[in-house]
Homo-oligomer: A and B are copies of this chain.
Amino acid sequence: MLALNFVASSSDYLLGIDIGGTAIKAAAFSCEGKPLSTRTEPTLDGRLKDGRPAWAVAVRQLVADFAGELAAPARHIGLSAPGLAAADQRSIASLPNRLAGIEGFDWADWLGQRVLVLNDAHAALLGEVWQGAALACRNVVMLTLGTGVGGAAMVDGALLRGHFGRAGHLGHVTVDYSGKTASIFGMPGALEVAIGNYNVGERSGGRFADSSDLLKAAGEGDGAAQAVWEQSVQALGCAIGSFINAFDPEVVVLGGGVAGAGEALWLPLKRVLAKVEWRPFGEGVPVVPAKLGGWAGTFGAAWEAMRAASGAAACR
């Protein structure tokens, strides 16, 4: 009797790489989506190694390390990073003030094989659709509530990219057009001004450094902290209701540190949505926490690289 071999051939794996501000995460998946192995390296933004950006050298090493571990090069590589992906998806076309050298850096040339490059928020949404909180959905809005607010949208089964690849920058949508503070892209009263970690200090008159400080005080009955947080959740709820009217999703996914605040976020957010959401057929749109945490980008990058390859030959 033949011994059936259920283990995928070693050449059949996808690699998803996500370059963040502090860490580079990489994960290998079987073509069916099973996570096989993960690795993390520091980004070392701004440093050089052998005359090259340290992040570039680290990514090349990570790819080699996986090839060693899994005894073959990856069949498909997807790479996500902040900034606007170029139309040919070979590089990041625009990312001012961070990861110097990444603009126009051709990853296929550097790694010696095809690499699909995409925006990190786009990748995170795709990851959640592939194996996360928006599993198999065709209409999705995702917000990542962290230092700033990242966003992405999928409508009618297609991830929205737009003319320059900037579609889905939902943290830079106004929720207060007469607001004095603008987001880094110049939008007054942007959503990330209202709930991003980076300006909790400004919102609280300098009393708190970030959302967890603010929420701790609010939880202990600090009325001023509660009022600040209430405003933030009101802004977030109105923004989500607005995105529902603009994109008509079947699910809204919230990721990032602030989304992990538990009932302090979810209970008041539900109350706001009950007031401001348009519910033409009775039910509201489910608003749910992300499932893949900081690894969502690696999932989405790997999946998109496989999907972008021609159908039948995508995975042998």
Most B CB within 10 A of own CB, among A155, A172, A281 = A155
Interface flags for A256-294 (1: CB within 8 Å of B; 0: not) read 000000000000000000011110110001000000000
Interface of chain A residues 144 through 179 with chain B (CB within 8 A): 151, 153, 155-156, 158, 160-170, 172-178
Q: How far is the CB of A303 from chain B (nearest CB, A)?
A: 18
- Of residues 180 to 197 in A, which have CB atoms within 8 Å of B's CB atoms? 182, 185-190, 194
Number of copies: 2
User: How far is B198's CA from A86's CA once the two chains are assembled, in angstroms?
Assistant: 43
By beta carbon, the residue of chain B nearest A173 is B242
Q: How far is the CB of A86 from chain B (nearest CB, A)?
A: 12
**Complex interface bits, A194-223 against B, C-beta within 8 A gives 1, otherwise 0:** 100000000000000000000000000000
Chain B residue with Cβ nearest A177: B238
A78 lies within 8 A of chain B by Cβ: no
B246 engages A187 (CB within 8 Å):
no
Q: Are B246 and A246 in contact (CB under 8 A)?
A: yes
User: Which residues of chain B have C-beta atoms less than 8 A from A110's C-beta?
Assistant: none
Contact B246 A170 (CB under 8 A): yes
Given contacts A177-B175, A177-B235, is CB(A164)–CB(B280) below 8 Å? yes
A250 contacts the other chain (CB 8 A): yes
How far is B276's CA from A194's CA once the two chains are assembled, in angstroms? 17
- Residue among B96, B162, B238, B285 making CB contact with A174, cutoff 8 Å: B238
Interface residues of A in 122-153 (CB under 8 A from B): 138-139, 151, 153
Q: CA A185 – CA B249 in complex, angstroms?
A: 16
User: Which has the most chain B C-beta neighbours within 10 Å: A158, A168, A247?
Assistant: A247
Tell whether A155 pairs with B167 under 8 Å between CB atoms, given A176-B178, A239-B177, A245-B173.
yes
New A-B pairs, 11, CB < 8 Å, besides A158-B158, A187-B242: A155-B155, A155-B158, A155-B161, A156-B158, A156-B160, A167-B247, A167-B248, A169-B245, A174-B175, A185-B278, A186-B276
Residues of A with Cβ closer than 8 Å to B? 84, 94, 96, 138-139, 151, 153, 155-156, 158, 160-170, 172-178, 182, 185-190, 194, 231, 234-235, 238-239, 241-243, 245-250, 275-278, 280-281, 285
13 A-B residue pairs with Cβ-Cβ distance under 8 Å, sorted by A, are A155-B161, A160-B160, A164-B280, A165-B248, A167-B246, A169-B245, A170-B246, A173-B243, A174-B276, A178-B231, A186-B277, A187-B245, A188-B238
